[in-house]
Amino acid sequence: MSVQSAVRRKTAPEIRARKNGEPIVMLTSYHAHTAALVDRHCDVILVGDSLGNVMHGFETTVPVTLDMMILQGRAVMRGSKQALVVVDMPFGTYEASKEQAFHSAVRILKETQCGAVKLEGGVRMAETVAFLSERGIPVMGHIGLTPQSINTLGSFRAQGREEAGWAPIETDAKAIAQAGAFSIVIEAVAEPLARKITQSIDVPTIGIGASAACDGQVLVLEDMLGLSPRAPKFVRRYGNLGPLIEEAIQGYARDVRGRAFPGPEHVYDMKKVT
Ligand code: KIV
């Protein structure tokens, strides 16, 4: 007997088909509880390796492991129902060879049951993107600023700031689009370059700090909620939850210290619970 869930999840081919259509809405999530909220409003949930910075307080995404991504990917799958869940492949789990990438991606798909993986890099990853795509693994690309390369880049600066630097980024986009990526994240590039790339490839571009010229947008949830200690300059804040959470914690601490912790009579209707 086959079991089909009532709500069907979006798929990578459906996101691919949104080129020149309705903009793709994507946010990160690493937990079941935030995934449930994001799921109601977004097409794609990214379990980003930014969890290394946001959840674990690392300076970079370099220390993130495959096991960390799989654990949080499983939580996000449990919390969501309709969005396509994409899980980042962390640094060191896919660059050595296309076979290494295949084994890591298979673990991610089998152990989380997510719908796609994301990896960083352009021309140098094209062969790997083709290898995975041809073997049943939908791949989202990631070009422009690629945070996993921080140790060779030296800083998290915007890429292609001068027109002279545009060509390699455009070549990267074309290479992984042709290799079979179903969409491509473009991070921290100037608007004219993002527009040029978006117009020159036939898969959707998803911008982060790359202007409204892209086919969709992604942000790190905690950055746009005002919960990250350091968010990139381009992030628009849609909330400022940090002070609200702290106020609630202060109120709780005050009550406990003043022995004013609410007893059941404040919380429950005792007639119902007895
Ligand atoms: O890890 C992440 O959250 C990302 C986004 C910034 C696109 O890759």
Cβ 139 vs Cβ 118: under 8 Å: yes
What confidence score (pLDDT) does residue 161 get?
78
Q: For the residues 178-205, what does the mean pLDDT come to?
A: 97
Count Cβ atoms below 10 Å from residue 202 Cβ, excluding itself. Answer: 9
At residue 55 the predicted structure's pLDDT band, cuts being 50, 70 and 90, is very high
Whether residue 6 is contained in a domain is answered as no
Q: For the residues 143-151, what does the mean pLDDT come to?
A: 96
**Tokens 């990631």 -> residue:** 142
Question: Up-side HSE of residue 58: CA atoms within 13 Å toward CB?
Answer: 15
- Whether residue 253 sits in one domain with residue 130: no
Q: Residue 119: CB within 6 Å of ligand 1?
A: no
Phi, psi of 137 (to 5 degrees): -115, 105
Of the candidates 78, 77, 52, the one whose C-alpha atom is nearest the C-alpha of residue 67 is 52
At residue 162 the predicted structure's pLDDT band, cuts being 50, 70 and 90, is confident
**Residue 110 or residue 272, greater confidence:** 110
Residues 237 and 233: their CA atoms lie apart, in Å, by 10
Whether residue 1 is contained in a domain is answered as no
Residues 6+ apart with CB under 8 A from 107: 66, 70
**How many folded domains does the chain comprise?**
2
**Residue 259 or residue 160, greater confidence:** 259
User: Which atom of ligand 1 is the closest one to the Cα of 185?
Assistant: 7
Rounded alpha-carbon distances, angstroms, from residue 16 to 10, 11, 23, 39, 55: 11, 9, 11, 19, 30
Whether residue 65 is contained in a domain is answered as yes
At residue 235 the predicted structure's pLDDT band, cuts being 50, 70 and 90, is very high
Q: For the residues 139-149, what does the mean pLDDT come to?
A: 97
What confidence score (pLDDT) does residue 229 get?
79
- Whether residue 208 sits in one domain with residue 80: yes
Whether residue 5 is contained in a domain is answered as no
Position 19 pLDDT exceeds 90? yes
DSSP, collapsed to helix, strand or coil, labels residue 274 as coil
- Helix orientation angle between 166-179 and 126-134, rounded to the nearest 10 degrees: 20
- Whether residue 213 sits in one domain with residue 95: yes
- Whether residue 247 sits in one domain with residue 180: no
CA of 153 to the centre of ligand 1 (A): 17
The CA-CA-CA angle for residues 79, 83, 84, to 5°, reads: 110
CA of 270 to the centre of ligand 1 (A): 47
Whether residue 4 is contained in a domain is answered as no
pLDDT tens per residue, range 32-47: 999 999 999 999 999 9
Of the candidates 169, 231, 223, 221, the one whose C-alpha atom is nearest the C-alpha of residue 25 is 221
CA of 1 to the centre of ligand 1 (A): 39
Q: For the residues 198-204, what does the mean pLDDT come to?
A: 98
CA nearest ligand 1 atom 1, residue: 48
Q: Residue 28: CB within 6 Å of ligand 1?
A: yes
- Whether residue 271 sits in one domain with residue 186: no
pLDDT tens per residue, range 67-92: 999 999 999 999 999 999 999 999 99
- Whether residue 263 sits in one domain with residue 156: no
Q: What is the mean pLDDT of the chain?
A: 93
DSSP tag of 138: -
- Whether residue 73 sits in one domain with residue 120: yes
- Whether residue 184 sits in one domain with residue 270: no
CA nearest ligand 1 atom 3, residue: 48
Q: Residue 24: CB within 6 Å of ligand 1?
A: no
What single letter denotes the amino acid at residue 192?
P
CA nearest ligand 1 atom 8, residue: 48
- Whether residue 142 sits in one domain with residue 61: yes
Rounded alpha-carbon distances, angstroms, from residue 180 to 109, 115, 125, 193, 203: 18, 15, 11, 21, 9
Question: Which structural domain range is residue 264 located in?
Answer: 241-274
Q: Residue 86: CB within 6 Å of ligand 1?
A: no
Phi-psi region of 247 (alpha: psi -120 to 50; beta: other; left: phi over 0): alpha
| Percent of the chain residues topping a pLDDT of 90 | 85
Pocket test for ligand 1, best of 25, 26, 30, 49 (most atoms within 8 A of CB): 49
**Tokens 């919960």 -> residue:** 227
- Report the Cα–Cα distance between both ends of the chain, in Å, rounded: 44
What confidence score (pLDDT) does residue 222 get?
98
- Residues identified as active-site: 187
